[in-house]
Amino acid sequence: MDAAPPAPSLFEGDEAWDALPASAPARDGDALHLELENWEGPLDLLLDLARRQKVDLRTISILELVDQYLGYIERAEALRLELAADYLVMAAWLAYLKSLLLLPRDPEMQPSPEELALRLQLRLQRLGAMREAGARLMARDRLGRDVFARGAPEGLRVDRRHRWQADLFDLMQAYGVVKARTAPVVHIVRERAVMTLDSALARLSALLGASLDWQDLHSFLPSRGEAGWEDPALRRSALASSFVAALELAKQGKAEIAQDETFGPLRLRRATGAAGAVAA
Amino acid sequence: MTPPDDLARAVEATLFASDRPLTPEEISRHLGGAAVRAALVALQRDYAGRGVELVERGGRWHFQTAGDLAHLLRRETEDVRRLSRAATEALAIIAYHEPVSRAEIEAIRGVQTAKGTLDVLMEAGWVRVAGRREVPGRPTIYATTSEFLAHFGLSSRRDLPGIDELRAAGLLDPVDDAYALLTGGEDGDRGREPEKEDESS
Amino acid sequence: MTPPDDLARAVEATLFASDRPLTPEEISRHLGGAAVRAALVALQRDYAGRGVELVERGGRWHFQTAGDLAHLLRRETEDVRRLSRAATEALAIIAYHEPVSRAEIEAIRGVQTAKGTLDVLMEAGWVRVAGRREVPGRPTIYATTSEFLAHFGLSSRRDLPGIDELRAAGLLDPVDDAYALLTGGEDGDRGREPEKEDESS
């Protein structure tokens, strides 16, 4: 029983509310498949059959129950196989249990057939108890059906009042911000000279190819006389781009970087082992 | 009716006017911090036997019509549609075993519980998510609400019909525990491990 | 309370559960044709002096909270709130330019001003409606109140620092960022484009 039947599609769509009153009594011939849809799975069907033995659940005859169940399922199979998968799994298990109960005892067998039967009985008792508890719950005097709260309560209201706070400085500041924000302004977007990462990469790769010795990163920058040297902003941009380009080349295995101390000069050379790879 | 004192009148008026059940703390806060328990008990006594009574449900108080007048007042409205068997059983299992995970509900019912079933119970306001069980998979666990108690006229879960008998008979224990008990207990530790439950919500 | 008889209990419960006042005829019909007048009178007497009373209005009966306890149905709490940046700006503009219409405030602020913003200023008692401007559309115009002067420690609007003083204090520096920095910066980009402001918080 521990192996729960696989997800039974039969129950996926079960409506949580009863949309319709219980359907009209079915004719005998196809009673079973109609009822199958009304059962909440094999355990529920077993519980119903057990209840029909009209004895305490603790004293039901498991063998009799198995026979009744198998009898039902034989007819169900003929009717609507696809709905009955879970019921069939249970039927197979019950048939197995029945054979174990009837055959001579195998003392080695774990768990014993009696244990399996007892567990089934315990499960039925528990489901039965909850089914009954649910029915008793539903039969209570229920608020909104049998007993009623006040129909037109005035309602309790809590009004929240705000005491607003601000001081003169806030006011001045706010006015200043408004005036400053809406003062006519002319925006001139200056063109800034930058060295792009791509051009730094190209420049660095080209210069690195020329020598195998360690060289200071600064020596790769545009030198006096080259275009852009005059512009300090461009020099800063070139330094930043060259630094990033150096990191990128190192990452690609094309260059080696060394720095002897924190904030010390960054030195750079072509990766020794990589010459071939670079060429390739 | 003997005229109530000022505090009892105020509590009476507050509960009458409120559109939902109130805890003593809420009433007290509404009335500027007065101690209201004694007044609640006095009011409950005042109304005993009348057509309207004062009841406590899960720590919240409200007035409602007397149960024995149900035959005069009963209405079958949209709100009180019949729950399906699946939902009724799931609700009973949650109420009697709470907090429980969906897997535990399914273990008792022997079938999968459609997602919609728990949704309906939560939408009705009767069931809430009560955190997660601290076991592998950290399954969501469910419990009932004070609206559940109010709807079914229960002061607390101890009032659930037959809960004492069910507990005494071991019918609220897992099958493994019951089995171990019946067979001499050599399997006694097969049952549920002691678990930490996260009741944070 | 003296326990009422069965009919009075039924009338009591019916009135209690009803969502509207009922005529004696309606109650009677509900209760299978019983004569209910005497029960209504008895109930009215029962409830006299309690926190709840049974009243007749225009031939219809209903329970209501006792009139002298009506104040219990509403309770006020007060909390202190800082004026939002939008409201502070609007207030400053009204103070410097009054009387102004909402459109003028928006033109000066450069952003839309939510209706709620002016409501807050009026709720605070600092701004009042000062009539309508006699231009097409006759817009409402706003001005500050004497409470405004009192709250901000001004003897008259002439005490407001002039533009030159603001400039000298650095308050006209065109840096929204400085303001954002000073004020914690959550709405540093508030001024970029016209936007609806939500003053509901």
In sequence order, which residues have a C-beta less than 8 Å from that of residue B103 and are 6 or more positions away? Answer: B139
Inspect the interface and report whether the beta carbons of A133 and B178 lie closer than 8 Å: no
The ipTM is 0.67
Looking at per-residue confidence, does A184 or A60 come out higher?
Answer: A60
Using alpha carbons, select from B11, B58, B115, C1 the residue that is nearest to residue A15. B115
Chain C residues with CB-CB distance to B69 below 8 A: 9-10, 13
> Residues B145, B128: contact at Cβ < 8 Å?
yes
Shortest alpha-carbon distance between residue B20 and chain C (Å): 14
Please state, rounded to an integer, the average pLDDT across all residues of chain A. 76
Does the pLDDT value for residue A279 go beyond 50? no
Partner residue opposite A158 with nearest CB, options C16, C77, C191:
C77
Q: What is the pLDDT of residue B76?
A: 61
Q: How far apart are CA B1 and CA A269, in angstroms?
A: 103
Does the pLDDT value for residue A82 go beyond 80? no
Inspect the interface and report whether the beta carbons of B117 and A40 lie closer than 8 Å: no
Q: How far apart are CA C129 and CA C101, in angstroms?
A: 9
In chain A the first and final C-alpha atoms are separated, in Å, by 68
Distance of CA C188 to the CA centre of its chain: 30
A164: enclosing H helix or E strand: strand A157-165
* Domain ranges (residues) in chain C: 6-73, 85-183
Shortest alpha-carbon distance between residue A50 and chain B (Å): 15
Mean per-residue pLDDT for C178-185?
Answer: 47
Nearest CA in chain C to A159: C76
Chain A residues with CB-CB distance to C166 below 8 A: 172, 175-176, 179
Nearest CA in chain B to C17: B65
On the question of a common fold for C6-73 and C85-183, the answer reads yes
Q: What is the pLDDT of residue C172?
A: 67
Counted residue by residue, chain C has a size of: 201
A214: enclosing H helix or E strand: none
Mean per-residue pLDDT for B122-133?
Answer: 93
Strands C74-82 and A157-165: parallel
Chain B residues with CB-CB distance to C9 below 8 A: 50-51, 66, 69
pLDDT tens sequence across C9-58: 999 999 999 999 999 999 999 898 889 999 999 999 999 999 999 999 88
Partner residue opposite A137 with nearest CB, options B111, B161, B182:
B161
Measured between alpha carbons, how far is residue A121 from residues A44, A127, B171, C76, C184 in Å? 12, 10, 12, 62, 69
Mean per-residue pLDDT for A23-31?
Answer: 42
pLDDT tens sequence across C53-105: 999 988 999 999 998 998 888 877 777 888 888 999 999 999 988 899 999 89
Inspect the interface and report whether the beta carbons of C191 and A181 lie closer than 8 Å: yes
Inspect the interface and report whether the beta carbons of A18 and B82 lie closer than 8 Å: yes
**Which range in A178-182, A223-227, C143-147, C192-196 is most confidently predicted, on average pLDDT?**
C143-147
Q: What is the pLDDT of residue A155?
A: 85
> Residues A242, A220: contact at Cβ < 8 Å?
yes
- Report residue A144 as tokens: 């909104």
Can you tell me whether residue A219 is helix, strand or coil? helix
Does the pLDDT value for residue C186 go beyond 50? no
Inspect the interface and report whether the beta carbons of A172 and C93 lie closer than 8 Å: no
pLDDT tens sequence across B19-65: 999 999 999 988 988 899 999 999 999 999 999 999 999 999 999 99
Chain C residues with CB-CB distance to A156 below 8 A: 72-73, 75
Neighbours of B158 (CB within 10 A): 8
Using alpha carbons, select from B154, B91, B157 the residue that is nearest to residue B121. B91
Stretch among A220-234, B64-78, B141-155, C176-190 having the lowest mean pLDDT: C176-190
Distance of CA B149 to the CA centre of its chain: 4
Does the pLDDT value for residue A13 go beyond 60? no
Using alpha carbons, select from A121, A146, A131 the residue that is nearest to residue A64. A121
Shortest alpha-carbon distance between residue B171 and chain A (Å): 6
pLDDT tens sequence across A144-203: 888 999 988 888 887 777 888 888 888 888 888 888 777 766 666 666 777 888 888 888
Q: State pTM to two decimals.
A: 0.61
Inspect the interface and report whether the beta carbons of C166 and A175 lie closer than 8 Å: yes
Q: What is the pLDDT of residue C196?
A: 42
pLDDT tens sequence across A252-261: 888 888 888 8
C86: enclosing H helix or E strand: helix C85-97
Q: In terms of C-beta density within 10 A (0-12 exposed, 13-18 middle, 19 or more buried), how is residue A43 classed? A: buried
Phi, psi (degrees; rounded to nearest 5) at B72: -85, -30
Q: What radius of gyration, in Å, describes the C-alpha atoms of chain B? A: 21
Looking at per-residue confidence, does A229 or A48 come out higher?
Answer: A48
Per-residue confidence band for C111, with pLDDT thresholds at 50, 70 and 90: confident
Q: What is the pLDDT of residue B14?
A: 94
Dihedral over alpha carbons B199, B116, A120, B173 (to 10 degrees): 20
Inspect the interface and report whether the beta carbons of A142 and B83 lie closer than 8 Å: no
Chain A residues with CB-CB distance to C173 below 8 A: 176, 180
Inspect the interface and report whether the beta carbons of B150 and A143 lie closer than 8 Å: yes
Q: What is the pLDDT of residue C189?
A: 38
Instruction: Please give the share of chain A, as a percent, with pLDDT higher than 70.
Output: 75
Residue of B69, B74, B77, B80 best to disrupt the C interface, most CBs of C under 10 A: B69
Per-residue confidence band for C195, with pLDDT thresholds at 50, 70 and 90: very low
Mean per-residue pLDDT for C127-155?
Answer: 89
DSSP A115: H
Neighbours of A251 (CB within 10 A): 9
Shortest alpha-carbon distance between residue A140 and chain C (Å): 18
CATH topology of domain B85-183: Arc Repressor Mutant, subunit A (1.10.10)
Please report the DSSP string for C87-132 in residue order: HHHHHHHHHHH-SEEHHHHHHHHSS---HHHHHHHHHTTSEEEEEE
Q: What is the pLDDT of residue C8?
A: 94
A-B contacts (CB, under 8 Å) = 182
Shortest alpha-carbon distance between residue B2 and chain A (Å): 22
Does the pLDDT value for residue B201 go beyond 90? no
CATH number for C6-73 (one of 3.40.50.2300, 1.50.10.10, 1.10.10.10, 3.20.20.70): it is: 1.10.10.10
Beta strands in chain C (DSSP E): 52-57, 60-65, 74-82, 100-101, 127-132, 140-144
Inspect the interface and report whether the beta carbons of B16 and C72 lie closer than 8 Å: no
Q: How far apart are CA A213 and CA A204, in angstroms?
A: 14
Chain C residues with CB-CB distance to B1 below 8 A: 1-2, 46-47, 50
Give chain B as a 3 state SS string. CCCCCHHHHHHHHHHHHCCCCECHHHHHHHCCCCCCHHHHHHHHHHHCCCCEEEEEECCEEEEEECHHHHHHHCCCCHHHCCECHHHHHHHHHHHHHCCEEHHHHHHHHCCCCCHHHHHHHHHCCCEEEEEEECCCCCCEEEEECHHHHHHCCCCCHHHCCCHHHHHHCCCCCCHHHHHHHHCCCCCHHHCCCCCCECCCC
Q: What is the pLDDT of residue B13?
A: 95
